[in-house]
Structure 1
Amino acid sequence: MDLSLDSSSYDAELLKALADYENQETLTGNGRKRKWGDVITPSTSAAATNNDPSQAALQATPLEEDTPPGNKIKCDACQVHIGKRYFSRHLNSKLHREKVLRNHETLENVKIIESAFGQRVKSYRIQLDSSNLNSSVSTDCVITPEVYFEKIKNKIFKLLMDNIDCHSFIKVNFVLHAEFIQITKDLVNSFDFQGYNYSFCKGDDIELDFEQVVVEFSNKLGEFEKKDSGWSLKKILYVDMNVNKFNPLRGSSYIDLPIDIKHKKAVLNIKNSDYECFSWAVLAGLYPVNKNAERVAAYLPNKNKLNFGDINFPVKLRDVKKFENLNNMSINVFGLEYNNETKKNEIIGPLHFTKHRMPTHLNLLYLTNGSNGHYCLIKNMSRLLSKQITTSNEAIHICDGCLLHFSNKEHLNLHQKNDCVNIRTELPSARNTKPNWFGEHTSSDKLKFDKYDRQMRVPFVVYADFEAFVTPIPSCDNDPEKSHTNNIQKHNVYSFGYYLKCAYDDKLSKYQTYMGEDCPNVFLKYLKKDLELITKKILLLNHLCH
């Protein structure tokens, strides 16, 4: 039947054709199309904009079929069908996690989220017990991230240690869920803050990384509140801890040197097929060989001469200090970075700088390629860095203790003997405390003005000035083989003037001047006389007041 555009039957046929097309439910590159007749509620659209696309997709998906279509996966916990594209997001969504929580066997207020996917080992939800708070803290008081993490610290340490014992290497990240309020608009909403990934293995100092976690979330929440959104922290709901499998190195840790670094012939790169590149690089520096220096076999006879204690392979940068103490030696570790402007690789760092240079000292180069890391031995620092530091073709000599460079070996030796060993840089630390002006012990890594006594005016100040003329001094020739100083002029004082200023009574202020012989002694005589007079007046005034 031929329908005209003006016919009402045409509209009915067009609507029917559109409905048939929309009912086919296909997935496109931009997301899932909804069926004709789906109702999008305000909560659905809000979920789609709340960093949780899986919830929006889930609410818009009809769940009538028991068997999922080919392009969908069924979630047994939620009893819904999710498109393959959104399934991984769904497993990490709040909707799914709430349905797979179970209590931890030994730790209170800790729940296990049985939603492991991919490389995920376990996920935990850690909440703060209200009885954990001090009775002096009001229930209306906002708990800061620092206080919250301090209260749940022991639980986090217990979970980390259990997973490290079980898996040796793990990667952990935290997600903090908090409730915010806009007081002016009377709005309340919850937001989650994703943390960075932290890798752990046996023997690591967990407390050191935990301090970084606390600072990280404290900064994230502070930056969020400082924005123009008007949101203020109301309370912290809970913290999710995700534990993932972590293989720091896959196969060999060997990484080939860039061509420009290789041409300098200043770095020895051991071709290892294991994770012990740090050990081979150190052995190459302690026990050098003339032939096949890049082969592991050349250093096997001395392998057991190094003490690694409880340090695990691959060796992390934080473990280098422990290795130095175990083997009575010092090590500097430098990195490599490509400069887009010069189109060359440049040495950066040091990534690890020894605090005390020992007679046995080595310099290592640390290469990275994704998650893979590799240590090499730096044989000649001058050849490696000369073009990067200076345009001269002359060799430079670098001090391993302070990284200063010199034009010749003699100057370097003189510096290391007299200067470098006597200079020490001590960085502030949160663990070291110092008493402030009030006698309270505060962290030494925070600078705060507390010398309030320096702001108070002193009762008396003396401003003095001398005038002198110079006369030449006859001298004789000195021994050129010995250090000496030539005195060529003498200052002869012929006048002075001083002003004695009182801060609270200008009647006690006085100006005195003199010109003549023996000026220094006359100055002391006049000043002593004035001070004695002032002291008597002050004592008399105090006596009359009392």
Structure 2
Amino acid sequence: MCNKRKKTARMSMAATAGQDNFIHIESSFKGKIKWFYKKNINNTLDYNEFLNNCKPQISSLLSSMASIHPIKYNLKLEATYSIPQQENTTENRAFKTSARELYSASDLNAAVLDDFTKLLEEEDEYVAKGSGYSLQTIDGILLGVYVFTPLRASSHIYLPEDIIRKKAVINPMNLKDNECFKWAILAKHVSSGNKNHVGENYKKLEKMYNFNRIIYPTPLKNIKIFEIDNPAVSINVYGLEKQPGHTKFKPAHYVYPLRVSNSEKIDHFDLLVIEDETTGLSHFTYISNFARLIHSQKTKNHSKMVFCKKCFTGFDTRPKLHKLSGQEALDQHRQICNKHKTILPVMPEAGSTLKFEAWGKTVRHPFVVYADFEALLIKPNNSGSKGGNTKIIDEHKLMSYGFYVKAADNIPIELLKRYNIPLTPICFRGSQTIDSAEVAKRFVEALVEVATNISALLQTNTAIRFTDEEAQRHAAAISCEICRCSFTDSNQKLL
């Protein structure tokens, strides 16, 4: 409902402006986030035509802003759909793109065209679901622009004291250059001299890897290029977040994942990025012992543990009687964890509580439909293969269907009859003149008709009929029977 109100407000502002271009509708965070909106004033019903009309204006806005500072932007295409010849079936739909980074040297034209393609693909997927909804109006398009500072590691920054005490990170001191990424990589192989000081012990190792395409200071996205140029290498990158009110039992800094590879290659690196709060500059360091770095962050258990580098789940290395432990347990865990995106687990504040609020979902729905199809197995005319190892033996041809509408016991039968809700099973059997497509079509049409009638019935209000016993129990109740919340002046009992 909130999104609908915002959309209505945007369209009203655009209509008042009366211009066939983008208008600035809102800003936040001291102008770092801006929203622009273009209403479909010409009432175009063709997505390609509308987007092509928007392209020059989008490109102009993004170009002017990206020339000043790196930005991220995303598009939100808004439209209204409805079921033809049925009242009160309008539905607001929005097709969105993910935030895309844009720099002054970016190929703006290719970026915008790629986003248009994604919007149209999302709209095609919606239509292909066969919901019965058709496009009624293209309402407009929302452009969100966010000023951001790309993470770029530079010269030396000192580690926080609590991280130093863990003795799990090597921080090469590069006071005369911005090549901390290179020195963090080479720190793994330094075997002589002071590992925290960049000298001859580091410089003699520079040819071990291909750093030719690395930019200094090094942005995070440049790491992918390094992995491509060095095929045996994989790199994980982690950030450091300062924790307020730390104690003996609460670390001053938490480590969290920024970039994690799905598989660790032969030559793997874990890097920690630290940031100077005053200058905003970042600095790469090498994690020499990952488990030691995050151990106190995850558990008070002092036994040796191994950790998932993606979600930080820990596994005790002590043998277990009936389940896996240590590295075996971690390997099994990775088979599931690697399928998911990297996340930073955020725990609730101390003393806070989490309560179930969706009480409406605990109430049984008054209707349920049970349906089934029957099909004939027909030998194909041309027995062929579908894919390398799949051979077509039979084809399923729909020949009949049946469904039964089960209503809750407390719904009066006269109300079901008034709204033509079937009280007995509905069956349809095809014939030689009716093909599978027609059977499926008739099933969908019958089900849509029943759903429409149920929707109308659910909007009917009937008087509550209390028995004397029920009326007494209701009058004596001091709390709700569903959510158990007490009745108050602000949460009154309904009659």
State the TM-score, normalized to the length of structure 1: 0.38
Which has the higher relative contact order, 1 or 2, with Cα contacts under 8 A spaced 6 or more apart?
A: 2
- Highest Rg: 1 or 2? 1
